[in-house]
Amino acid sequence: MDFETLRPYLLWYTGVGGVVTAAVLYGLATLVDVDVGLVATVLFLGSLVVVSMLLTVSDQGIESAAHGAEVGFGSSNPMDFQPDSLPVPNRLGVVCYFVGLTVVGGATVAFLLA
């Protein structure tokens, strides 16, 4: 995938979406008197786990289809389990969004520890 295709996702989902969501969460944490460092740590670690799970799902598509008949899935067609047919709209956008949350959370933790 070239940079021209990836640029809108990086700009809107990673940059704008991640920063705005983190700012709202930090604002809410301040309003309800929760430690911002705790929110940043949960945001960083939680988003890191979600990104790693979303990126590893694509490697398991064929294996899931192969075991589909054994475990009772309704379909054993490998195309039903490909990343493009996951029920998440625009999977690349979701990954970029959570990468943005991970970066903002990690930067906040690093800033608070400095």
Which domain, by its residues, includes 106? 3-59+89-113
Domain count, the chain: 1
113 vs 72, more confident: 113
pLDDT, average across residues 33-38: 93
Q: Is the pLDDT of residue 82 over 80?
A: no
Q: Is residue 32 part of a domain?
A: yes
Residue 79: inside a domain: no
22 in any annotated domain: yes
pLDDT value of position 52: 86
Going by C-alpha positions, the residue among 33, 14, 46, 19 that lies closest to residue 108 is 19
Task: Look at 114 and 75; give whichever has higher pLDDT.
Answer: 114
Evaluate whether residue 47 is within a structural domain. Answer: yes
- pLDDT-derived band of residue 81, with 50, 70 and 90 as boundaries? low
**Distance from the Cα of residue 52 to its chain's centroid:** 8
Using the Cα atoms of residue 81, residue 83, residue 84 and residue 90 in order, give the sign of their dihedral: positive
